[in-house]
Amino acid sequence: MSSILSKGTIGILTGGGDVPGLNPAIRAVTVRAIREGFKVVGIRRGWAGLIDMVRDEKYDNSNNFMELPRHVVDRAARTGGTFLHSSRTRPSHVALSRVPDHLKDLYKEKTNDLTKEVIKNLEWLGIDCLIAIGGDDTLSYAVHLGKQGVKVNAIPKTMDNDVPGTDYCIGFSTCVTRTIHLTNSLRTSAGSHERFMVLEVFGRYAGFTAMVPTMAGAAHRCLIPEHPFNIEKLTDLLSQDRRENPSNYSICMVSEGATFEGGEMQFEGAEKDAYGHAKLGGIGDMVSAKLKELSPKYNNGRTIEVINQKLGYLVRCGDPDAIDSIVPMAFGTMALDLILKGLYGRLVVLQNGRYDHVPIEVVTSKKKLVNVAKHYDVERLHPIYQDFEMLPLFIMAND
């Protein structure tokens, strides 16, 4: 299947978790590309579409790819999620049970590298350059493809805001906005019943989704993956916060990857995704139970009840906010600019408030985490409010 337009064909895909802002990014690439004379093909379900594809003109591949016309992306750009759908597929590490039926005679190992098939499918589609939108897992495979000679550029996306090389990732602003809104709605119940409130939010290794809402005043304390916490200290601090609050309640924001001192991450089960990650969950429950158990010690012998809420997908669903409408537009436009300039192997980024691009290999070169010494008060279990001069919009930069 080859390109019918002189400038060639651009492929685009979204991988990993959904966030608001993906559809505006797809639109930005597509509208500009069509105007410049390119054809745009959307790969469906992330990397999965490129391993499930059957290279036969008569085969129904509509579940694996689609040509993108302007009217489709215009309509989708007003909504959250990704209309191309997504998955956590890693073509270099495909379990035998996940190998497509038409490839089972060729790949029979417990774990199989289907990269050769991905490259053949890109060639069959006539894709000259691929734009991958995703977090560090999705983009780590884009790095791998680039090393195999595929022309690929990348756009950072994750509500955790933890892709290295950029101060901002698509989805983070809406996540923070939703978190603050939901917390402010829930605090009426916490105040009415004079309780502790524990809110668990996403954040496996990085605590930005707990730090920034807390910094904005949504919570009294926050627990992040970068620093194991002492539950006695937390109970004492929240008890003080509750006494000092006229409505007699206090709130703690907990990253799903946070750990007790001497403890480990809490998982919902043993099953892991293609990138080796087990699903996190349960730290909010454990913190809530221990706060209730220890509360009499810090409340004149009386137990303090706890409202325990996992915000989860509520903060990553729905329409994008203003920032997650504007940044994806800029990122998508930049990704197309790079193609027009003949530049590949690049990650579009925001650094120090300015749009730029860096080598895509930065994604696999390091981890982007909260700088505890600079931004997190380990004694107060709270963000540090000082020295903001020249810092980016959301304070914590790509250090």
Return the pLDDT at 270: 58
CATH code, residues 9-170+318-365: 3.40.50.450
Range(s) within the chain of domains with CATH label 3.40.50.450? 9-170+318-365
Query: If you average pLDDT over every residue of the chain, what do you get?
Result: 94
Return the pLDDT at 266: 72
Task: Specify whether 160 is catalytic.
Answer: yes
**C-beta of residue 167 within 8 angstroms of C-beta of residue 328:** no
The CATH number for 174-315+372-383, chosen from 3.40.50.460, 3.40.720.10, 3.30.70.2970, 3.30.360.10, is 3.40.50.460
Sheet strands (E) in the chain: 9-14, 39-43, 65-67, 94-95, 111-112, 127-134, 152-156, 196-201, 221-223, 250-255, 267-272, 278-280, 306-310, 346-351, 354-359, 376-377, 382-383
For tokens 């139970």, name the residue: 289
Q: Is the pLDDT of residue 223 over 50?
A: yes
Q: How far is CA 265 from the centre of its chain?
A: 19
Mean pLDDT of 260-269: 78
The pLDDT-based confidence of 5 (bands split at 50, 70, 90) is very low
CA 175-255-161 angle, to 5 degrees, is 45
In a 3-state reduction of DSSP, which class is residue 88? coil
The string of pLDDT tens digits covering residues 323-341 is 999 999 999 999 999 999 9
The pLDDT-based confidence of 3 (bands split at 50, 70, 90) is very low
**C-beta of residue 165 within 8 angstroms of C-beta of residue 363:** yes
The string of pLDDT tens digits covering residues 360-377 is 999 999 999 999 999 999
Distance CA 152, CA 376 (A): 36
Mean pLDDT of 306-319: 95
Bridge-based pairing state of the strands 354-359 and 346-351: antiparallel
The string of pLDDT tens digits covering residues 110-167 is 999 999 999 999 999 999 999 999 999 999 999 999 999 999 999 999 999 999 999 9
Range(s) within the chain of domains with CATH label 3.40.50.460? 174-315+372-383
The pLDDT-based confidence of 281 (bands split at 50, 70, 90) is low
**C-beta of residue 168 within 8 angstroms of C-beta of residue 161:** yes
Active site residue: 18, 160, 241, 324, which one? Answer: 160
For tokens 């805001």, name the residue: 161
The CB-side HSE value for 228 (13 A sphere, CA atoms) comes to 8
**pTM of structure:** 0.93
Return the pLDDT at 398: 75
List of residues 6+ apart from 84 with CB closer than 8 A: 12, 13, 14, 22, 26, 42, 43, 44, 45, 66
Mean pLDDT of 291-319: 96
Return the pLDDT at 76: 92
Distance CA 48, CA 41 (A): 15
Return the pLDDT at 276: 60
The pLDDT-based confidence of 305 (bands split at 50, 70, 90) is very high
Centre a 10 Å sphere on the Cβ of residue 291 and count the other Cβ atoms it contains.
Answer: 26
Q: Is the pLDDT of residue 1 over 50?
A: no
Max Cα-Cα span within the chain: 78
The string of pLDDT tens digits covering residues 34-81 is 999 999 999 999 999 999 999 999 999 999 999 999 999 999 998 999
Mean pLDDT of 224-233: 97
The pLDDT-based confidence of 273 (bands split at 50, 70, 90) is low
Distance CA 211, CA 36 (A): 42
